[in-house]
Structure 1
């Protein structure tokens, strides 16, 4: 499924809730100026205690990303929103180099694993309606699984990353040609999952943990996963720029960023226009996200930065889930052991990190940071929510050879003040 199997980024610590209900700020060197359109919030003007100087235009975070962009080490959008007001919005580089279309705030980027929490929200919506229980085993809703899985692995195990399952390697070189072909392949692939440890055992990014819940959503609702999420999550949040786009849409829609993969010879190629090319990264060798006609159920999608902020707010204000179920979605489930610094790294170390439903969460400087990130050949994505202080941060990029970990570290430092 998604390629955040890139272990070098320590995905367990990749945090992210995206950010920005509106665009504002003075353009930094090399950035595209984004004006706040009528009806959008103006830049925040709270006191220095509420809005740290490092988060403002010209602050440390802004300067860090601008320098990377000037060196052609970042292409995309970064956005910081505080209590519904945009504090910083920057756009760099090209969404489509061939057509000369620049990145801007309303361009959608490939989310990769940053889209996995949509599936968890879908499951919790159905739990809230009484149509399923988190304690339901796989066999309650699906057939075709071994007894070890059908009778012992629950939705809670799957969503919390503790299923004990392993899924076979994907055929990364296969080119898909329709939604039905993608669906049939991943339905079969999910049923080939094998137990490698007892349920309740932490599992490292097993594809089954997103594929099987997506199949359960479909079994309960009678609706394809993509269609359910677009109607009951994206539409409900007003995420008009976000969708599970197909390859033809990726090729033709000027509001969708093309993903540029770094090649072994140092060049970058447009993934969707060069299906014969793949990533040279040893952890996702040969992969090209353009080969999948549509992202697999439970994964991915394309989103804009403001839409991810809308999702972040909708998750907390009752739009998507009643408050108790929203708290279940993001509550700490199991401690994560430190892994060589991880995303929060040397400059902004986490006090503690935990699993939640399809996303890691951390305590940094005494406050929660909750969210998700993802990496694919040619793209990076992260959305972070800071619920104690009202911040949301987003990073969306269409290069894969960026210091992604450092960018998110800088965001966390700017928002929390943690050094």
Structure 2
């Protein structure tokens, strides 16, 4: 599953719920406190601004642009940053190499590993099935899946899983295993999900239990009769026009020139290409030995690869009815319950939120009186973040492919540029 690690801080607490956005962590709760979805206006809206009318810090040559350029010049950023306002790109910058061995540079058309930033795709899949009447969010695990312990099958609901309040705990993953096929990955994570144990009553928050990601993916498969990956690629990615986004396999990662390789820092200070060095792992104590290339394909419910423009397309698809009917899009991002003032959220350490809430597989927060929703993830050699600013029509994307990127600070700078 996607990692929670970030360089130089208490990583699980910093990114909270599986590597989340800049503005929140998971909390208990049922039923939306408020509802918002997507953006204030769809692409091409009448008042979309050009770069000259955008806030100064968001423009080419502005504070955010200069900040990222300086990081790149210091070898502290490799990847893509993008700021879009109502479907129009205001700032797009690419730095570093997608594949050093082949001499391929990063650019807008390069797909980066998403890690936990891909988890909301699973929530969208579940909500699509709900709006078609194929399931209810109040359904228990046992409604759709067999083989789970009674206390899970009869008491834990889909809502509990999506909102991070299942009360479940999952055993540690086998980070050193090298998978050889899609089916091996699917079977392993199905068995892994079934090892989940209740550690508290359903309705109480959990510490990013992997089962909360894996079990909804199994439900998607049970209801649709297809694999999670195939369902999401057809009904989310293709519907949104995300042509550069997919659950790529390791052979594709090795050969496709449009996929960024992840460069992991080693104990001796060197960086190695993760997918070309499966025997190498991260020395980071929070993900010791992990190498994202060892998964033949990302586990169901997690990860995937996306380009920055595709994540903007996804953001707009949440607002215009493309991927979910509006009530269900509002349900996806609707605040479920307030978070405590002192949580693990990134917002508590960068741009403090007025209030932060749990949503379905993505946190939402009020920052300076305006909503921000999104998701981020971190793996060895990978950072990914997409933030939607629905009150103003902005979307911010950060995709990186090396360790040592000051991820927290970049998101803070993005928020400062957009929100002022």
Q: Answer yes or no: same fold by TM over 0.5.
A: yes
Contact 1:81 1:88 in 2 (8 A): yes
Q: Residue 400 of structure 1: CA displacement?
A: 2.2
Cα distance in 1 for partners of 2:341, 2:191 equals 35
Aligned twin of 1:285:
288
Find runs of 4+ consecutive structure 1 residues off by over 6 angstroms.
none
Per-residue deviation, residues 242-291 of structure 1 (Å, max 9, x unmatched)? 00000000000000000000111111100000000001111110000000
2:2 matched residue in structure 1: 2
Distance in 1, matches of 2:301 and 2:242, equals 18
The 5-angstrom pairing of residues 354-373 of structure 1 reads: 354-373=357-376
Q: How far apart are residue 3 of structure 1 and its match?
A: 1.1
Q: 1:24 — aligned with what?
A: none
2:389 aligns with 386
2:229 aligned with 1:226: yes
- Aligned CA distance change for structure 1 residues 390 and 174 (closer, same or farther; 3 Å): same
Cα distance in 2 between the residues matched to 1:110 and 1:14: 15
Equivalent residue number for residue 349 of structure 1: 352
CA distance in 2, matches of 1:378, 1:339: 29
Kindly indicate whether residue 306 of structure 2 is the aligned counterpart of residue 300 of structure 1: no
Relative to 1, partners in 2 of residues 1:127 and 1:241: Cα closer, same or farther, differing over 3 Å? same
1:64-97 Cα distance to aligned partner (Å, 9 max, x none): 1111000000000000000110000000000000
**Displacement, 1:10?**
2.9
Aligned length: 392
CA–CA distance in structure 1, aligned partners of residues 100 and 275 of structure 2 = 12
Structure 2 residue aligned with 1:271:
274
Is residue 74–residue 92 contact of structure 1 (8 Å, CA) maintained in 2? yes
Q: Deviations over 1:134-174 (max 9, x none)?
A: 00000000001000000000000000000000001000000
1 or 2 for the larger relative contact order (CA 8 Å, sep ≥6)?
Answer: 2
| Equivalent pair of 1:347/1:413 in contact (CA under 8 Å) | no
Distance 1:47 1:261 in 2: 38
Q: Deviations over 1:303-359 (max 9, x none)?
A: 000000000000111001111000000000122224478422455211111110001
Query: Which segments of 5 or more consecutive residues in structure 1 lack a partner in the other structure?
Result: 20-38
Inter-partner Cα distance in structure 2 for 1:219 and 1:116: 18
1:189 corresponds in structure 2 to 192
Give, in angstroms, the shift of residue 14 of structure 1. Answer: 3.4
Deviates more, 1:335-344 or 1:403-412: 335-344
Q: CA offset at residue 45 of structure 1?
A: 2.4
The match for 1:159 is: 162
| Residue of structure 1 in register with 2:20 after alignment | 14
Which position in structure 2 is the counterpart of 1:89?
Answer: 92
Task: Report the Cα distance in structure 2 between the residues aligned to 1:185 and 1:222, rounded to whole angstroms.
Answer: 19
Equivalent in the alignment of 1:415:
418
SS of alignment partner, residue 63 of structure 1: helix
Q: CA deviation at 1:204?
A: 1.3
The alpha-carbon deviation at position 4 of structure 1 amounts to 1.9
Distance change (3 Å), C-alpha of 1:101 and 1:278: same
Counterpart CA distance in 2 for 1:298 and 1:118 is 8
Q: 1:44 to 1:376 in 2, by over 3 A?
A: same
Q: For residues 219-263 of structure 1, what are the alpha-carbon distances to aligned partners after superposition, in whole Å with 9 as ceiling and x for unaligned?
A: 000010000000000000110000000000000000000000011
SS of structure 2 residue aligned to 1:88: strand
Task: Measure the CA separation in 2 of the matches of 1:259 and 1:179.
Answer: 20
Report the RMSD for the aligned CA atoms in angstroms.
Answer: 1.8
Q: How far 1:401 moved relative to its partner?
A: 1.4
Mapped partners of 2:386, 2:268: distance in 1? 31
Q: Kindly report which structure 2 residues correspond to 1:14-413, keeping only aligned pairs within 5 A, or say none.
A: 14-15=20-21, 44-45=49-50, 48=53, 51-339=54-342, 342-345=345-348, 347-413=350-416
Relative to structure 1, the CA distance from residue 69 to residue 166 in structure 2 (aligned partners, 3 Å threshold; closer, same or farther) is same
Query: Contact 1:259–1:399 at 8 Å: present in 2 too?
Result: yes
Distance 2:369 2:148 in 1: 43
Contact 1:375 1:400 (C-alpha < 8 Å) held by counterparts: no
- Tell me the distance in 2 between the aligned counterparts of 1:293 and 1:89: 31
For the residues of structure 2 that align with 1:71 and 1:45, how far apart are their CA atoms?
30
Normalised TM-score (structure 1): 0.91
Paired residues of 2:97 and 2:105 also in contact (CA < 8 A): yes
